[in-house]
Amino acid sequence: MAATNKPNKLAFLSMPAPASYVAGLGRGASGFTTRSDIGPAREGPSAEVIAEAQARRGEEPEFDAEQFQDPDNEFGLFAGTTYEADDEEADKIYDLVDHMMDARRRARREAREEAELAKHRAERPKIQQQFADLKRGLSVVTDEEWENIPEVGNLTRKKRKRDERSFVVPDSVIVGDTARGQYESALDARQQATGGFETPADSGTLTNFVEMGQARDKILSLKLDQVSGTSTASGLATSVDPKGYLTSLDSVIIKTDAEIGDIKRARMLFDSLVKSNPKHSPGWIAAACLEEHAGRMVAARKIIKMGCEQCPKSEDVWLEAARLHNNDDAKVILANAVQHVGQSVKIWLAAADLEHDIKAKKRVLRKALEHIPNSVRLWKETVNLESSAADARILLARAVEVIPQSVELWLALARLETPEKAKAVLNKARKAVPTSHEIWIAAGRLLEQEAYVSGKSEEQRNKELEVVDKTIEAGVRELRRHQVLLTREQWLKEAERCEDEGSPRTCEAIIKATVAMEVEEEDRLDTWVGDAESAESRGKVGTARAILAYALRVFPDRKSLWRKAADLEKAHGTRESLNAILEQAVRHCPQAEVLWLMWAKEKWLAGDVPAAREVLEKAFVANPESEQIWLAAVKLEAENGELGVARELLVRARTVADTQRIWMKSAVFERQQGQISTALETLEAALKKYPKFAKLYMIQGQIHQSQGNFAAARASYAAGIKACPKEVNLWILASRLEEADNRSIKARSLLDKARLANPGSDVLWAEAVGVEERSGGTAQAKTVLARGLQECPNSGLLWSMAIWAEPRPTRKSRSADALRKAADDPLIICTVARLFWAERKIEKARQWFERAVKINPDIGDVWGWWLKFERQHGTQEYQDEVVKRCVAAEPHHGQTWQSIAKDMKSTGKSTKEILELVADALH
């Protein structure tokens, strides 16, 4: 029954929705409405429609309180009605009620307002109240204190407005300004009395300018003393050391705003680091260093102290703390440090460094050795402090007992012992450390040192030196047995170190024992030659000599190897060592003509002419048909004045060797001796045998030309050109012959033919340019030069001529073009040096001359220009150096050099004399 009377909760579902119902509005699920939902825009409902809908829903219309407000009267529409007596009475009643209500609340309101005002005055007092006590204190200020109060300056850093007030100019200024540009045409009474030209002093005395200057200097010194604070006239001034003051200014570090900001950020970072990880010692060290950099030493020491407390096992923190404190405090800090990290060698060494007394240092280090007896560094420092060799020996003996694996201590002990005891020490060291190569090398050096003790015979010394070789060889075997495999490069470095330390035989023994390691049999020669050249370039002559000596034992028949050994001795050795090498070389390579000639030349340069003859005789036996040996013998006899012997040798040489060069030298020899007819006969005989040898035609033509027989000379050159059309010098000589005969057109045609027969020859183009210049055709010379550069764009000779053909302002750019085309041509380099010379850039010019002779030292013209330059701008030492290097280089080429060297007047002259002549001839 009850169930039937229970209301239905879902009955509202069948009811109609209220007029203002919006689905989901109560739970905030109302969506947005788009134009597609509501259709096109249209005019909204009118006010009548809205009122009618509200009435239908039972809603009351809303009235606006301001809708009846009169726009012109703010009191409403009824303000204009009659104010009657009852209205006045009502107003009085209302006013009385308001007054009574206000009276009831006034006491509480005023009390509250006073409390709030007192609280506000306490929190924000007035400025007058803040300075009230100071203003009361002004009553006791004395007059002197008032006088000492400084003037108030402008501390706001704001620009103040200028006082633009104007003032009335006095009449006197106006009158004076009008009279300023006028001239006075009358003399006053004084001028009339003195004649108008002199102005006598009132007192009749002269002005003393010396006294005025002294007074000025005195005043200036007083002012400077006052500024610097060194014046002794006042007892209030303090004494300042100017040097010390300047030094202190240098030490002041002025930090920018950016640096200060960086320091602040870094400080925050390190502070966070040490707080998050207080056991991180680098963080404490970095924070302390930051404060030190910022100039806050107290803060730095405080931070590092906290670091020592947090990280007592970190030696770096303790060392940094000792560094940041003074000497006495650092000692205390390190004393605490050894309590926590007593096994730290660095801390003990730092503690020893803080001591200034040797005894105190020894005491600290021996205390350290009690804690750390196996520290090699501590033992070495302790031994170094000992002034007595006996005490040091005792300490080292104890050290090697404690640390038998230390090679350094064993070697130090061996150095302090006598030779016999040193051997025993090294034997013990070898047994204790069988893997150390330093011990074996030290043993070899000890044996070498004993071998060179004075008083021993040569045979005994050689036997002892052989022991050095055996010792090093045994050491290498033992090291291999103990699996110690050093590379070739490591052994070569050890050999070089032995050479530097004055043990050449030990160096040689190491080379003998190890230089063949890790090298293939077919690569041995190249590898060893490369090693020798590398050692020589580093200045290790002994190592290079030992490598070449070993290579010569393996390859005794290699001529090039003997030549390298001879060149090494010639450059770095003595005359005796060079003779010994050359003697061995010709014994092993008797067919090597170069070695025989080198040996004979060295004997000749040493002044031993008979020995040189003897060497050449032996060379004849070994090489009976050698052209070079025959000519060397002829030159030796001719240079020493034995002309008859030289002529006989040439006759025998023509019979035995019978080469075209011997025939040529025979003709030249006869020509030098003035036997022109004999020379011509020799040339005719030679030309029948060797018609293709161009130099025979050249010599024949030059002889005819020197005699004035131009027709015979022309015939000789023509025959030579026909037989040897590719010989450039023949064409040039023929052209110069025509030019000497005033037939420039014929000279040009010959050079044109020569260029057709020898295309790409820069020498022929240069000669053609010279012909045009000598005939006066400068423009034509430039044209020919341009054509030559087109055909030979990399010719240094033509580029050099092109540079000098340019006017001075454009030569530098022209030289840049030349360097781009042929950067390594010595003639271009020499030309650039001459340009620097012309610009007075002395050092640059000298560097470029140096560069030119390094590229090709065989060009004599470059040496001549360099000597000419040094004569003008260099010292005598520079000139001697150039001559010395030129003599060593023995140049043979160069246009000016060849013309002077092959001149008959230069017969028998040395390289130095020819160089002097070339330097004089160049312009």
Answer whether 835's CB lies under 8 Å from 851's CB: no
Tally Cβ neighbours within 10 Å of residue 380: 17
Across the range 674-702, mean pLDDT stands at 88
Mean pLDDT of the chain: 81
Distance CA 696, CA 723 (A): 11
Structure token pair of residue 853: 């002779």
By mean pLDDT, which of 177-181, 394-398, 494-498, 603-607 is the weakest?
A: 177-181
- Is a pLDDT exceeding 70 seen at residue 236? no
Structure tokens at 583: 């003697």
pLDDT of residue 881: 93
**pLDDT at residue 592 is higher than 50:** yes
Q: How far apart are the first and last CA of the chain?
A: 148
CB atoms within 10 A of CB 242: 9
- Tokens in use for 175? 């009158």
Question: Position 411: which residue type?
Answer: L
Mean pLDDT lowest for which of 61-75, 295-309, 591-605? 61-75
Tell me, letter by letter, the H, E, C secondary structure of 859-897: EHHHHHHHHHHHHHHCCHHHHHHHHHHHHHHCCCECHHH
Q: Please state the separation of Cα 851 from the chain's center in Å.
A: 22
pLDDT tens digits for range 491-508: 889 888 888 888 888 898
Beta carbons of 751 and 767 less than 8 angstroms apart: yes
Task: Determine the number of helices (DSSP H) and then strands (DSSP E) in the chain.
Answer: 50, 0
With a cut of 60, say whether residue 196 has pLDDT above it. Answer: no
Interatomic CA distance for residues 77 and 701, integer angstroms? 147
The pLDDT score that the predictor gives to residue 78 is 53
Query: What confidence category does residue 870 fall into, taking pLDDT thresholds of 50, 70 and 90?
Result: very high
Beta bridge partners of 70: 73
Distance CA 889, CA 867 (A): 14
Amino acid 556: pLDDT:
87
Give the number of other CB atoms < 10 A from CB of residue 261. 11
Q: What is the pLDDT of residues 604-631, one digit of tens each?
A: 877 788 888 888 888 877 887 788 888 7
CB 829 within 8 A of CB 809: no
**681 vs 326: CA distance, rounded Å:** 101
- pLDDT higher than threshold 60 for residue 235: no
pLDDT at residue 243 is higher than 80:
no
Q: Which amino acid is at 685?
A: A
Distance CA 234, CA 219 (A): 15
What pLDDT, on a 0 to 100 scale, did the predictor assign at position 847? Answer: 93
791, 793, 796, 800: CA torsion to nearest 10: 90
Q: What is the DSSP letter of 46?
A: P
Residue 30 has pLDDT above 70, yes or no: no
* pLDDT tier, 402 (very low <50, low <70, confident <90, very high otherwise): confident
**Is residue 70 classed as helix, strand or coil in its secondary structure?**
strand
Lowest mean pLDDT, pick from 121-130, 308-317, 795-804, 889-898: 121-130
Average pLDDT over residues 448-464: 80
Q: How confident is the model at residue 844 (pLDDT cuts 50, 70, 90)?
A: very high
Q: How far is CA 632 from CA 232, 638, 648, 667, 911, in A?
A: 92, 10, 14, 16, 17
Q: For residue 202, what pLDDT is reported?
A: 47
Least trusted range by pLDDT, from 388-397, 732-741, 869-878 = 388-397
Contact status, residue 317 vs residue 281, Cβ threshold 8 Å: yes
Tell me which of 285 and 261 has the higher pLDDT. 285
pLDDT classification of 63: cutoffs 50, 70, 90: low
pLDDT band per the 50, 70, 90 thresholds, residue 187: low
CA atoms within 13 A on the CB side of 62: 4
| Pick from 480, 458, 479, 535: nearest CA to 504 | 535
Cβ burial of 236 (10 Å; 0-12, 13-18, 19+) is: exposed
pLDDT tens digits, residue range 684-693?
A: 888 888 889 9
Structure tokens at 233: 């006239």
Mean pLDDT (whole number) for 230-239: 44
SS3 73: strand
Segment 396-406 mean pLDDT: 82
3-state secondary structure of 822: coil
